[in-house]
Amino acid sequence: MLFSHLSYSQVTPDCTTAVPICNNTPVNGGSNGFGIDDFNGAASSGCLERTTTGYIESNSVWYRFRTSASGELGFNIGHDSSEDWDFALYRASDCTNLGDPIRCNFFDNSDNKSFVGVGEDPTGDSSSVHYEDWLQVNAGEDYYLLINNFSNVNSGFSIQFTGNIFTTNPTDALDCSIINNLLGAPVAACEGDSINLDATTTGATSYEWYSDTGSGFQLISGETNSTLNVSTSAQYRVVVNTPTGNIISDVQVVFNPIPVTNAVSDELFCYSSNIFDLSTKDSEALGIQDASIFMVSYHLSLADAISGANPISKQFSKSPGQEDIFVRTYSLTNPDCFDASQNFSINAVVSPELSFDEEVTLCENSAGIVIGETMPNPAYTYAWNTGEVTPNISVTEAGEYTLTATNSVGALHCEASRTVQVNMSQLPTITDVEIEDFQANSKVTILTDLDGDFEYRLDDGAYQSSNSFADVSGGMHTVTMRDLFGCGEVTENIVVVGFSPIFSPNGDVLNESWHIDGLSELSSPIVTIYDRYGKLIAQMTEFSPGWDGNFNGRPLPSTDYWFKLSYLDNDGNRVYAKYLQSHFSLRR
């Protein structure tokens, strides 16, 4: 931020002649050298360290102020972004006994910031390393503020005080009794204002007025009254002639430009996030005006925009619907110079939300399944990738189906799409049942040739995802296989018995006969044994001792033999056991 040469008129070399500040008057200043070293050769003061001069100060200015209210206090030191400014704030009433600073910043400005200070960066940068925490003050406290610049040439700076004490005490937060100047404190005004300087003195015989716009004080011809109306920035001086001598008083008056807020276009957008970035509207409001001199804030009412109160975050949390936003464009050096003539609307159009299942199962041989929105919004239009324009459709084939819903407001079309994967589920089929271990308590596994999502159960037990059951007792059982998506189930009756796959009737007492364990669990079981040609060799019941390998008293050769097991079911019908291993070997 560049300041005119008028800024250089307020140059203070030492702490003992610190410039008094009162109220919330914006201050414009400059620095050129540092006069006498106020730190007596010390290497540091708080965060401040020696500069290239060998002293803590290089180009310094001192200010002092006294609080007359309690609360939160901060300040912004605005400057050209190419320059490096530091500061230290001391709570002290004696310039010769400053102690350590209570707020201090010595960071270099390699990131080209335009502000350093206490409180909040007015640009909204909450992470700026050039800002220190807010100061909590009480009434009647005295402070000294050192502002220092590393550069030999600088463009000056401005000081704008901030904090809630200026909300509770807008005109007297800083005590003006510390200023004994006849013309009072420095004056910050806006272009177009008329400032009245009053030097009225009892007993005065005449008045002379002078102004300095950078070339020294020049007499203002014809101005001999006790008051002077001014409308241009300058350092003003009055010489009051009295019978006892002359009184000379100086005051700085700075007129800051008033920005103009350009028309800001309305915003109509699809609501998909609750954050709208208001900073994207800054360039519209500023137009060709310098963004380093003026700032833009946004408010929810015209009254707030005029007063500057309650600015909303640039990352505005916007809910669906239309809302009016009021724009305030103001001077960084004097926020009282502002324009709040413009406003615009933000209309966040709700984007549709589709909530139907993204994956469904279609049962084999079914009449179809309905997919899509079952509770559609009548304000939306709907379109499927299949060409249908209804919120939901009935499908009979597997595949991907995409529905797009559109909410239209004028030329704005807010869309949302959702794809549903329709899978075909086949009816469950039991291909085989394995009964392992050839024991009365066996492992039973249900097999299928289908790829699908199924679950299984034994008898009336709980369904399980595994198709295997361990320690199944001998006898008759039912196994059930069902589709997880309700596409049917199938139940089979099985018989679990134990038998040896090999027996050897050779007179050694071991495995002399072949038999089946667990027949007693069945109703009227009959086992029939055949040779490979289908000839009936033997028949057994649950009471038979077993087959000894003979037919009509003659030993049969070593080979494989087949058997069948039948029994009476619960309805009294004789049925053959399915899935039972039906052969064994005779070894001699």
- Report the alpha-carbon distance of residue 300 to residue 483 in Å, rounded: 59
Show the low-confidence residues of the chain (pLDDT under 50). Answer: 1-12
Q: Token pair of 397, please?
A: 């084939």
The tokens describing 541, both together, are 């019941």
What pLDDT shows up at residue 34? 83
Pairwise CA distance, residues 22 & 534, whole Å = 121
Query: Which CATH class for the 432-496 domain?
Result: mainly beta
Instruction: Judge contact between 102 and 292, C-beta under 8 A.
Output: no
**pLDDT on residue 417:** 96
Architecture in CATH of 359-425? Sandwich (2.60)
Same fold, 359-425 and 432-496: yes
| Angle, CA of 567, 569 and 570, to the nearest 5° | 150
Domain boundaries, the chain: 5-178, 187-256, 267-350, 359-425, 432-496, 498-586
Q: Are 588 and 561 in contact, with CB atoms under 8 Å apart?
A: no
349 and 276 Cβ atoms separated by less than 8 Å: no
Tell me which fold the domain 187-256 belongs to: Immunoglobulin-like (2.60.40)
pLDDT of residue 2: 27
CA-to-CA dists, residue 588 to 191, 508, 535, 556, angstroms: 124, 11, 21, 9
Instruction: Tell me which architecture the domain covering 5-178 has in CATH.
Output: Sandwich (2.60)
What is the C-alpha separation between 269 and 321, in angstroms, rounded?
10
The dihedral built from the CA positions of residue 81, 342, 320 and 407, taken in this order, carries a sign that is: negative
Residue 264, burial from CB neighbour count under 10 angstroms (0-12, 13-18, 19+): buried
Instruction: Read off φ and ψ for residue 539, nearest 5 degrees.
Output: -140, 135
CB 84 within 8 A of CB 153: no
Model confidence over 300-314: pLDDT tens digits?
A: 999 999 988 889 988
Strand partners, 587: none
Predicted pLDDT at 438: 60
CATH code for residues 498-586? 2.60.40
Q: How is residue 224 written in tokens?
A: 């001999």
State which amino acid sits at residue 398: A
End-to-end CA distance of the chain: 112
**Closest by CA position to 144, among listed 191, 109, 104, 203:** 104
Taking the CA atoms of 276, 280, 285 and 290 in sequence, report the sign of the dihedral they define.
Answer: positive
**Separation between Cα atoms, residue 499 and residue 509, nearest integer Å:** 17
**What global pTM score does this model have?**
0.59
pLDDT digits (tens, 9 = 90+) for 326-357: 999 999 888 889 999 999 999 999 889 899 99
pLDDT score at 7? 30
